[in-house]
Chains A and B, each alone.
Chain A
Amino acid sequence: MKYVDEFRDPEKARALSAEIRALIKTMPQARTRPLQIMEVCGGHTHTIFRYGIQQLLPEEVEFVHGPGCPVCVLPMGRVDDCVALAQRPEVIFTTFGDAMRVPGSKLSLLRAKAEGADVRMVYSPLDALKLAQANPSREVIFFGLGFETTMPSTAMTILQAQAMGLKNFSLFCNHITIIPTIKAILDSPDLHLDGFLGPGHVSMVIGTRPYQFIARDYGKPIVAAGFEPLDILQSVWMVLKQIAEGRAEVENQYGRVVPENGNAAALAAVQEVFELREFFEWRGLGSIDHSGVRVRAKYAAFDAEHKFPVPNLKIADPKSCQCGEVLKGVIKPQQCKVFGSACTPETPLGSLMVSSEGACAAHYNYGRVDTGFKRGGDEAARKVAA
């Protein structure tokens, strides 16, 4: 595929892998324990597993899968709120596909749909807007979630709904913001991280400047990274290079998409429509100050939380779940007590098992056994015929 295959070139991957191995040999930092690099974004987690990138790295380098899967960090109580809204007879509840399976305390949206709620999967908030136009006698609610990546399109949709004078469209806003969360992780006492891969799509919107405190105040390197496998390998090399040279800076590997100052138009739309909440509850991480946004009062007519009663009950995470420790990189997914036993993609207990971007689901689907393929028998010596 043109413009994509270039970033998946195995020759270049081997070369980069060799560079990283050579570099790590020169680094005294890697001799006592593996260096831990957190990829903040779930999209990166997906790429790492999908392309088997960990196997291309020396064992002195470990990925810690961060909190950047918006579906995964959604608390149960908010899913219950979604279900309550969706069960209102006048409501058509619209959502991105991978949020359908996230378990609430009783139901997921998928199960609520089976029980009669009108839940529909959309590919964009604009699809929800079209549904509202086509169904004037129904109330269409869009389940807005995601970081700064998806926030601008939701904001633009609300601005468009207002321009169109739509009365039957609203947003159930669960957008979250990445910076306070990275800060909360950095402040965690049980942390051993050595550097970060910065979220590429978020950076496309907010630019790279908001990450400066990570380098300045916490002395950790961060590299805004793209989503193709070569992007990840190059970014890992850049982080290691900084550590090797004793630097802690904000660098941008994803320059083809990420401008230093972000996207002004997107930021303006977000600023116009949303304001910070005092705090927002994260699954596995607890409440984090100023980590979520809500719809501003001037757009209250498009705010589902304003328009409809929302139960807004806090539901504690299941006790056996160790999603928080996995998210902070304190334990690996397979070290969780319920990984692969009580908690599997079929019956996810923890949110990290739900989306394919969740660290646990990715481990379960792609990496739970040593893939080391053995031909066996008399075939061992033969070459693959293919």
Chain B
Amino acid sequence: MSTHPSGTVLPLSALVGKRRRLQDSRINMAHGSGGKAMRDLIQDVFVEAFDNPALNALEDQAVFSLASLATHGDRLAFTTDTYVVDPLFFPGGDIGTLAVAGTVNDLAMSGAKPLYLSCGMVLEEGLEVELLRRVVASMKRVADEAGVTIVTGDTKVVERGSADKLFINTAGVGIVPRGVEISASRAQVGDVVIVNGYLGDHGTAILIARNLLALSSDIASDCQPLASLIAAMLQACPDIHCLRDATRGGVATVLNEFAQSSNVAIRLREAALPLREEVKGACEILGLDPLYMANEGKLVAVVPRDAAAAVLAAMRAHPAGVDAAIIGEVGERPAGIVVLQTAFGGERIVDMLVGEQLPRIC
């Protein structure tokens, strides 16, 4: 028990929990050493921002009561994703917004209510602490928006050149409500395909932010958590068949996964695809296909035809689904294949990408 200079007794927690301001302006190897520098970093940057009882306890793990989890449903959803993006900040978001929204969305695509996230950080020696604070603040903001808590974490520092500034891993758990059975293998003949808005914004924003093209545009990433949108959709139709977020590989990749897992054909109508002029323009210049461009706040849903109107209405009433649209339908043949009915009147296959989309020479 310590004694205050004035003679009054100070509670122990006031000392242990005391937050020391981190002195350094850049990350150095000591911040990953397990000693005082690391403790200061954790206290001043992470605990300060994320601030919740489970994390503040600074145990090696967060512990939850099973009974309280079970109030949300009957199955646990568990996922992990690692975020590496260049540049770290881009119009519409940063690596922190991605790291939270991405994992929240991966949980939510099962219909789960996302609850808790972990946060693992790999920091490159020399990283500016101020930049890290901005990223962490973004994580906190999106976590609050999505109704999740970041309850445990880990920090590693690697030597300059061994990582590119900052990598983040987040894992998450959520609870799937009873009766919800969403799976890529459940698309059925007659179902319709719905997206929640404009496609390809994130991929285009990143391309332009890298500034390799000397293009300028005010297009912003669509990075956003989708859990509450999905909750609204499930309310309109608890029997949503397939749901996936169209991140890397875009809508085309997700639909190919659905078509193959469900052994059905999916036909898209090019004229129905919600695409911004800027995205069409950038893709046109580079010879890229917006169907393969990454999104960070877009989902693809396959729903029974009878429920399509109700789901679409629920989506359009939600801020993350204002521009929702029906883009296609599920059929029998050719099984396992996605077909695009071009606005021009022809048809073509939309296949999985082999590697990265590469700009064409001429």
Interface residues of chain A, those whose CB is within 8 Å of chain B, are: 1, 4, 8, 10, 13-14, 17, 43, 46, 49-56, 70-71, 96-101, 110, 121, 123, 127, 145-146, 149-150, 201, 229, 345-346, 355-357, 364-379, 382, 384-386
Contacts and interface: CB of A to CB of B under 8 A. Distances in A.
B200 to A, nearest CB: 13
The 8 closest A-B pairs by CB, nearest first: A52-B346, A376-B332, A97-B358, A379-B190, A374-B333, A386-B326, A366-B348, A371-B347
Interface stretch (B52-60, B68-76, B156-164, B264-272): B264-272
Contacts of B342: 50-52
Given A1-B281, A100-B358, A374 B265 contact: yes
A183 B328 CA distance: 46
Contacts of A384: 269, 329
B66 interface: no
13 contacts: A1-B280, A17-B345, A50-B348, A71-B361, A101-B358, A110-B355, A123-B286, A356-B360, A367-B349, A373-B339, A377-B189, A378-B190, A385-B309
Nearest to A347: B354
Contacts of A376: 189, 331-333
A146 B339 contact: no
Interface in B114-134: none
B277 interface: yes
Contact of A146 (B213, B337, B361): B361
Given A201-B362, A369-B349, A372-B333, A4 B284 contact: yes
Given A149-B362, A386-B326, A386-B328, A51 B346 contact: yes
A377 B308 CA distance: 18
The residue among A50, A70, A384 with the most chain B CB atoms within 10 A of its own CB is A384
A385 B304 CA distance: 11
Contacts of A50: 342, 348
Contacts of B326: 385-386
Contact of A375 (B269, B332, B359, B360): B332
Chain B residues touching A, range? 35 or more
Given A1-B284, A96-B359, A123-B213, A371 B189 contact: no
Contact of B331 (A14, A17, A375): A375
A379 B265 CA distance: 13
A98 B349 contact: no
Contacts of A368: 349
Contacts of A127: 212
B361 A13 contact: no
A386 B327 contact: yes
A369 B329 contact: no
Contact of B189 (A1, A10, A98, A379): A379
A379 B190 CA distance: 6
Contacts of B277: 1
B267 A373 contact: yes
B361 A150 contact: yes
Contacts of B359: 96-98, 121, 123
B334 A345 contact: no
A64 B344 CA distance: 21
A56 B346 CA distance: 7
A49 B362 contact: no
Given A123-B212, A372-B333, 6 more contacts: A46-B287, A56-B344, A201-B362, A373-B267, A373-B347, A375-B332
Contacts of B265: 373-374
Contact of A385 (B284, B329, B331, B362): B329
Nearest to A150: B362
A374 B349 contact: no
A145 B358 contact: no
Contacts of A8: 343-344
A52 B212 contact: no
Contact of A52 (B269, B280, B344): B344
B357 to A, nearest CB: 9
A377 B354 CA distance: 33
The residue among B326, B333, B343, B361 with the most chain A CB atoms within 10 A of its own CB is B361
The residue among B192, B308, B344, B355 with the most chain A CB atoms within 10 A of its own CB is B344
A371 B284 contact: no
B355 to A, nearest CB: 7
Contacts of B347: 52, 55, 371-373
Given A127-B212, A374-B331, A97 B360 contact: yes
A51 B344 CA distance: 6
Contacts of B344: 8, 10, 13, 51-53, 56, 229
Contacts of A146: 361-362
A276 to B, nearest CB: 21
Contacts of B39: none
Contacts of B309: 385
Interface string B320-341: 0000001111011110010101
A366 B252 CA distance: 13
B304 to A, nearest CB: 11
B305 interface: yes
B351 interface: yes
B203 to A, nearest CB: 15
A366 B287 CA distance: 16
A17 B346 CA distance: 11
A96 B358 CA distance: 9
Given A373-B333, A374-B331, A43 B362 contact: yes
Given A97-B359, A385-B192, A370 B334 contact: yes
A99 B348 contact: no
A99 B212 contact: no
A17 B331 CA distance: 27
Nearest to A348: B354
Contact of A377 (B212, B332, B337): B332
B243 to A, nearest CB: 18
A49 B360 contact: no
B343 A386 contact: no
Contacts of B354: 345-346
B25 to A, nearest CB: 27
A97 B286 CA distance: 10
Contacts of A367: 348-349
A5 B267 CA distance: 22
Contacts of B343: 8, 10
A382 B362 CA distance: 43
Contact of B190 (A55, A98, A101, A377): A377
Interface in B39-54: none
B258 to A, nearest CB: 15
